[in-house]
Amino acid sequence: MTGLPAYRVWALPGIPEVRTGDDIAKLIASAATADGLPGLADGDVLMVTSKILSKAEGRVVQADDREAAIDAEAVRVVARRGPLRIVENRLGLVMAAAGVDASNTPAGTVLLLPEDPDASARRIRTGLRDTLGVNVGVVVTDTFGRPWRSGLTDVAIGAAGVRVLDDLRGGTDAHGNPLSATVVATADELAAAGDLVKGKAAGLPVAVVRGLSHVVVPDVGGGAGDGAGGADEGARALVRDAADDMFRLGTSEAVREAVTLRRTVREFTDDPVDGGAVRRAVAAAVTAPAPHHTTPWRFVLLESAESRVRLLDAMRDAWIADLRGDGFTEENIARRVRRGDVLRKAPYLVVPCLVMDGSHTYPDARRNASEREMFVVAAGAGVQNFLVALAGERLGSAWVSSTMFCRDVVREVLGLPADWDPMGAVAVGRAAVSPPARVARDAAAFVEVR
């Protein structure tokens, strides 16, 4: 039936065993122009298995221990089950074993992914233009598993000359409904189509798709340009930003990763804070351990600007009075007060409080002091849970101890019961800037074994 949307896809035979230093573009050109094949034409898209690029680019490394190679390529463990690790590698790809492959390579060696798959795709595109005079798109593919779905599929890890994403937002569907979230991963769909004919064990590392020339970016001569037809961003554009990734955390690693994500944030944007997210963090906080089956936590949420300003003004006045009583100069007082402005910069404040309901009273002061210490530890565990849960909600936070120095003032301003002890304050909001790199600490330095 003519006139209907259609495309053809075929595997390209004749690609020999690839070795370090081979020119992949020339190998493809030679295979494509063999007798009986349709050749390559403007608008074709080539799917090239990353493994042959790794071999050509010398990414075959000696590694008797594959796990060590995975360690070197990984930047973050997302999930682990037994020996299997799902990790984020240095390219930003989340995949099993960081893409380190021990198949179809000599014993004692492993294949790493290409150093820069987008650059590899550009070289092939440029080479085919120079050799055959054709403008083609190139997609570098690798095999991924997927969350929520069984089975493997090929996806794009590199691309050149291809619109990797088709953004339909702002358009309408057949019924006139607005499309507000539809962005099609065109390069991944092409990769999967090519895999249907390449197969996993057929020795056919390259496939050609013909009939979808609208996804190919006009060649501007360098193989990496923009062109009048749209941006040639490469497959890097398919990697979701961490801030937008709702599934960034893995399974058993989720808590550990959230702890790592928890950072003290001192500069916030003006974006409003979702009160629901804060309440979910409170729900996590109150799962902390506590003595005597008690619930010693209370969280006061300051959601209005008026309540925050009223509290912080009263605390500032009390602090200044204390500093003057301690003999500080006005200059020193002003400097110290400015350092405490992190709470004023936040669009949302939370005051965690300790309540000693259910505590035991003993006849001697030593045991009573230990009893309070147990409750203080429980309060700290609740606050830590709270901070970690906020990080999981992609909210920045800073715990500041200042309310502990003027508890009477805080209780009076907020109208709290006399037995509620404010345990600092937590500034909450979206981080305005990325926090600096965390200073590495050797856990062994904090461990004593007996």
What residue ranges define each of the domains in the chain, with the CATH number in brackets? 8-244 (3.30.1330.100), 262-446 (3.40.109.10)
Instruction: Evaluate whether 219 touches 228 at the Cβ level (below 8 Å).
Output: no
Instruction: Evaluate whether 256 touches 79 at the Cβ level (below 8 Å).
Output: no
Phi and psi, residue 45, nearest 5°: -125, 130
Instruction: Evaluate whether 418 touches 386 at the Cβ level (below 8 Å).
Output: no
Residue 257 has a pLDDT of 60
Nearest to 187 by CA among 274, 121, 108: 121
Q: Which residue is associated with the tokens 């122009």?
A: 33
CA angle at residue 438 from 434 to 442, to 5 degrees?
165
Phi and psi, residue 219, nearest 5°: -80, 125
Q: Concatenate the DSSP letters of all residues of 101-158 into one string.
A: B-SSS-TTEEEPPPS-HHHHHHHHHHHHHHHH----EEEEEEEEEETTEEEEEEEEEE
The one-digit pLDDT tens for each residue of the chain (450 residues) are: 567 889 999 999 999 999 999 999 999 999 999 988 899 999 999 999 999 999 999 998 887 778 888 999 999 888 877 778 889 999 999 999 999 988 777 788 899 999 999 999 999 999 999 999 999 999 999 999 888 899 999 999 999 999 999 887 777 777 778 777 778 999 999 999 999 999 777 789 999 999 999 999 987 665 444 433 345 789 999 998 887 887 776 655 566 666 667 888 889 999 999 999 999 999 999 999 999 999 999 999 999 999 999 999 999 999 899 889 989 999 888 888 877 678 999 999 999 999 999 999 999 999 999 999 999 999 999 999 999 999 888 899 999 998 999 999 999 999 999 999 999 999 999 999 887 877 888 989 999 999
Residue 40 has a pLDDT of 96
Residue 303 has a pLDDT of 96
Residue 209 has a pLDDT of 97
Instruction: Evaluate whether 392 touches 386 at the Cβ level (below 8 Å).
Output: no
Q: Which residue is associated with the tokens 């959230």?
A: 258
Residue 253 has a pLDDT of 58
Residue 224 has a pLDDT of 45
Instruction: Evaluate whether 103 touches 201 at the Cβ level (below 8 Å).
Output: no
* Cα–Cα dist 230/137, whole Å: 13
Q: Would you call 235 helix, strand, or coil by DSSP?
A: helix
Residue 242 has a pLDDT of 81
Q: Which tokens hold the place of 160?
A: 């050149």
In 10 A of CB 394, how many CB atoms?
16
In 10 A of CB 140, how many CB atoms?
29
